């Protein structure tokens, strides 16, 4: 299939602006989860200074990928959104390849996928999608853009708000949570992953007491971590 002249080529744009994928996917995800994106939140996401974000947004606007009123909400142009979706699909599929096929550590897959997402072709992306069973989420439970499960996963409540005594099913660990150093490792060590059932045994102002598994193994989880875990009530 011949590519449209207006279709963004990730490798080409990446050569001009190596951080483009990080910014576009960040804007897309933050808008998806919060409805709007400001300079400060994007700065926290990328892990750079406010002045660096301002410079990056200038480049994105010149490339026709982003738009922003002065110091206001940051959005993507149709071209920028299309490229962000391409990045996320590649990223999620690479995570599935690394974790599900190659047995790569769950908590390290995000970092490695970021290194590879800018260089694989559209043909390989579609091949991975078919061979991996057309996954609707990443291994951490975050939805593929436009997938049928996206509305349900995005509207799911946060584990920190689960009432005491409730049995819940973990749906996802948010993309924002994946950015928090050590969070995925902490979840993995406690057996917290999409699909697992947890009982909220108790809580205080800083943490939850949870149990999991057939024997009801108990452990604590800080509310700061539980903020980034989404759930639904478990069916009996």
Q: Is residue 103 part of a domain?
A: no
Number of domains in the chain: 2
> In which band, very low, low, confident or very high, does the pLDDT at 18 lie, cut at 50, 70 and 90?
confident
Structure confidence by residue, pLDDT tens digits, 98-135? 999 999 998 899 999 999 998 889 999 999 999 999 99
pLDDT of 17 reads 85
pLDDT for residue 149 is more than 70: yes
Residue after which a domain boundary falls, among 80, 110, 131 = 80
- The answer to whether residue 171 scores a pLDDT higher than 80 is yes
Residue, of 1 and 183, whose pLDDT is higher: 183
Q: Per the domain annotation, does 141 fall within a domain?
A: no
Average of per-residue pLDDT across 212-234: 89
- 172 part of a folded domain: yes
CATH number at residue 29: 1.10.10.10
196 has pLDDT over 50: yes
Cβ 20 vs Cβ 46: under 8 Å: no
Which residues, at least 6 apart from 194, have a Cβ–Cβ distance to it below 8 Å?
Answer: 137, 139, 140, 141, 170, 171, 172, 173
Q: Within 13 A of 71's CA, how many CA atoms are on the CB side?
A: 2
Q: What is the DSSP string of 18-76?
A: TTHHHHHHHHHHHHHHHS---HHHHHHHHT--HHHHHHHHHHHHHTTSEEE-TTS-EEE
Distance CA 117, CA 88 (A): 8
Position 119 scores a pLDDT of 85
- Domain residues for the domain of 190 are 156-233
* pLDDT > 60? residue 173: yes
pLDDT digits 0-9 by tens, 32-47 = 988 889 999 999 998 8
Q: What is the DSSP letter of 101?
A: I
The C-alpha atoms of residue 108 and residue 98 are separated, in whole angstroms, by 9
* pLDDT score for 6: 45
What would the mean pLDDT of 197-205 be, rounded to a whole number?
93
CB atoms within 10 A of CB 40: 10
- The answer as to whether 124 is a domain residue is no
Residue 3 pLDDT level (bands cut at 50, 70, 90): very low
Cα–Cα distance, 149 to 162 (Å, whole number): 21
Instruction: Decide if 122 is inside a domain.
Output: no
Mean predicted lDDT score pLDDT of the chain: 90
Q: Which helix (H) or strand (E) holds 87?
A: helix 78-96
Q: Are 94 and 112 in contact (CB under 8 A)?
A: yes
- Identify the domain boundary among 22, 53, 80: 80
Q: What is the domain-level CATH number for residue 216?
A: 2.30.30.90
Domain membership of residue 126 (yes or no) is no
With CA atoms as reference, report the closest residue to 210 among 226, 195, 194.
226
Q: What is the pLDDT of residues 77-91, one digit of tens each?
A: 999 999 999 999 999
Note whether residue 108 is domain-resident: no
Lowest mean pLDDT among 13-27, 74-88, 89-103, 161-175: 13-27
Write down which residue in 80, 100, 127 finishes a domain: 80
pLDDT exceeds 80 at position 48: yes
How far apart, in whole angstroms, are the C-alpha atoms of residue 182 and residue 165? 27
The pLDDT, as a whole number, for residue 14 is 77
In a domain, 216, yes or no: yes
DSSP label at residue 137: B
């Amino acid at each position: 299939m011949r590519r449209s002249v207006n279709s963004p080529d990730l490798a080409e744009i990446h050569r001009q602006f190596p951080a483009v994928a990080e910014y576009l996917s960040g804007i897309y995800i933050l808008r998806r989860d919060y409805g709007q994106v400001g300079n400060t939140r994007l700065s926290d996401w990328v892990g750079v200074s406010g002045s660096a974000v301002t410079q990056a947004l200038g480049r994105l606007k010149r490339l026709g990928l982003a738009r922003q009123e002065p110091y206001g909400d940051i959005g993507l142009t149709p071209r920028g959104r299309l490229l962000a979706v391409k990045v996320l699909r590649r990223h999620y599929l690479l995570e599935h390849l690394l974790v599900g096929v190659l047995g790569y550590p769950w908590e390290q897959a995000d970092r490695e996928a970021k290194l590879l997402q800018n260089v694989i072709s559209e043909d390989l992306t579609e091949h991975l999608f078919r061979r991996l069973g057309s996954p609707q989420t990443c291994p951490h439970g975050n939805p593929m853009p436009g997938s049928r499960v996206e509305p349900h996963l995005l509207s799911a409540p946060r584990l920190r708000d689960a009432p005491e005594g409730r049995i819940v099913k973990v749906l996802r660990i948010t993309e924002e949570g994946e950015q928090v150093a050590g969070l995925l490792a902490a979840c993995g060590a406690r057996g917290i992953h999409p699909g697992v059932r947890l009982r909220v045994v108790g809580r205080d102002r800083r943490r939850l007491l949870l149990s999991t598994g057939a024997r009801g193994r108990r452990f604590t989880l800080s509310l700061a971590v539980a903020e980034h875990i989404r759930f639904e009530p478990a069916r009996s």
